[in-house]
Amino acid sequence: MNSACKRPSTVMPMSWQKIAASMFLLLCAVTARAELNVLIVEGLGGEAAYQKQFNKEATALQTVSLSVTSAEHVQLLTGAAATRANILAVIRQLATTLKVEDRLVMYLIGHGSYDGYTYKFNLPGTDLSGAELAAMLNMIKSEHQLVVATGSCSGALQESLKNDARIVVTATRTGNERNITQFGQYFVDALAATDADTDKNGRISMQEAFDLTSRKVKDYYQAESRLATEHAQLSGSRAALFNVSQLPDAQVMPVNASESARREQLTSEIDELRLRKESLSEEVYLQQLEALLLQLAELDVGVQADSVNATSEAAP
């Protein structure tokens, strides 16, 4: 097992020996080079119902984050602890520990305000401005940052947090969309939804979560026959590669080096064929696709069958 992967080996009931010998999660392949750090901030609800909702979302994000990183790398600031000073302190600390290759996710759950110039995230005591947040995040060396702000006016953060190293997801298009948003609850749901996993790799990327959430928010307003007062935005590159959760019953992909190389080869050939799709007749395209997919399926399913057999053999 790759030592950089901190995920507990509880995904499948396999023997330790087998895990140690030949298996690791693809997720770990992604995270092997880096740590994933998650900071969740639950803002001020203003009303009991909103506070309850924010708390529910923040707690759910904490749980879901544990599927992709270890507990020591997940920090949740709620209630009285969710102050501007504490947030800045945590970021300062991360700035000292995170390396270039590490990844950082920051979730801002709660209302925002925007006066045409300044975005503020509503907190107990002094609010946190978009400019302050940007300045602090810019101190962090990590070149893989993701900030998700689920509340009203959050679109104003798009401009202030813009950075080549950062993906920014906001519930609203601009700071002028001031109404309470639906984005947060649908986003949290998406992180655990099999529907969101469109490439069926068992993990939810930021892009996948964003796509499903945006769809659900749109459906919500349509079903209510209401004019949509929020339009989610995602900026930055590589959102499709930034995994933010793993589905509970995700498939484990056991491989050895030669199988891995073969899989990569087949995947690359499939990608190349898909690029040529328009130049081929449907019949030829599907024939060629079938040949490649069958090989990949034999490899994947065969390997899985082997691993299941091996697990059974190893069982006491």
Partner 1 sequence: MKRVLLFMPLLCIVMTPVMARGIHYGAVSDAALLACDQQQWRGQREGANRCYRALFTNTNSLATRAEVAWALGDIKTANELFGEALKQRSTPGLLTRWGELYAETHQNDEALKLYQEALEADKNFSFAQVGAASVLVYQYAAQANEYLQPVIEGKNVPVGARLRALLLAARVNLEDSDIARAVELLTEATQVASEAKLPMLEIYALQASVELLQSPLGTQVTESVWVKKALEENPTYGDIYAIPAHFYVVTRRTREAVDLFKRAVEMQPDHWQARVEYGSSLLRDNQIAAAREQMEAAYKGDPYNVVTVNTLRFLDSLKDYDVLAYPDITEQRSVRLRVQEEQSPIFLRLHKKESAVLAPYVRRLTEQAMTVYSKQLNFKLKEPAVIEVYPNHEDFAVRTAGEPGLGLLGVTFGYVVAMDSPSARATDEFHWGTTLWHELAHVFTLESTDHRVPRWFSEGVSVYEEWNTGPVKGVSIPADVYAAFKAGKALPIAELDRGFIRPDSPQQVMVSYMQAGLICQFIAREFGAAKFNALLAAFKQGMDTAKAVQSVFKLEPKEFDAQFNAFMQQEFKKLFQHFDAWENARSTAIASYERSDWAAVIESAQAALSILPNDVEQDSPYVALARAYNSTSKPALAQATLEKYFSLGGHDASALRWLATRLREQKKYTEAAEVLEAINYVTPFNYEVHSELGNTLLILQRPSEALAEFQVALKLNPPDRASAYLHIAQAFQAMQRSAEAKRNVLLALEIAPNFRAAQQLLLELAKAK
Which positions touch partner 1 (CB under 8 A)? 194-201, 211-212, 215, 219, 222-226, 251, 253, 266-267, 270, 274, 286, 289-290, 293-294, 296-298, 300-301, 304
Report how far residue 172's alpha carbon sits from residue 25's, in angstroms, rounded to the nearest whole number. Answer: 35
Maximum distance among all Cα pairs of the chain, rounded to whole angstroms: 66
Work out the number of other CB atoms within 10 angstroms of the CB of residue 290. 11
Q: Which is nearer to partner 1, 215 or 262 (CB)?
A: 215
Minimum Å gap between C-beta 266 and partner 1 is 8
Q: Which is nearer to partner 1, 126 or 267 (CB)?
A: 267
Report how far residue 191's alpha carbon sits from residue 186's, in angstroms, rounded to the nearest whole number. Answer: 9
Minimum Å gap between C-beta 117 and partner 1 is 37
Q: Which is nearer to partner 1, 114 or 186 (CB)?
A: 186
Report how far residue 198's alpha carbon sits from residue 204's, in angstroms, rounded to the nearest whole number. Answer: 8
Minimum Å gap between C-beta 212 and partner 1 is 5
Question: Tokens at residue 253, please?
Answer: 């992909």
Q: Is 242 exposed, middle or buried (0-12, 13-18, 19+ CB in 10 A)?
A: buried
Minimum Å gap between C-beta 263 and partner 1 is 8
Residue 75: which H helix or E strand, with range?
strand 74-77
Q: Which is nearer to partner 1, 47 or 219 (CB)?
A: 219
Q: Which is nearer to partner 1, 78 or 201 (CB)?
A: 201
Nearest to 313 by CA among 7, 14, 1: 14
Q: Which is nearer to partner 1, 76 or 196 (CB)?
A: 196
Minimum Å gap between C-beta 49 and partner 1 is 10
Q: What are phi and psi of 192, to 5 degrees?
A: -120, 15
Minimum Å gap between C-beta 24 and partner 1 is 15
Work out the number of other CB atoms within 10 angstroms of the CB of residue 160. 19
Place of tokens 């947040």: 133
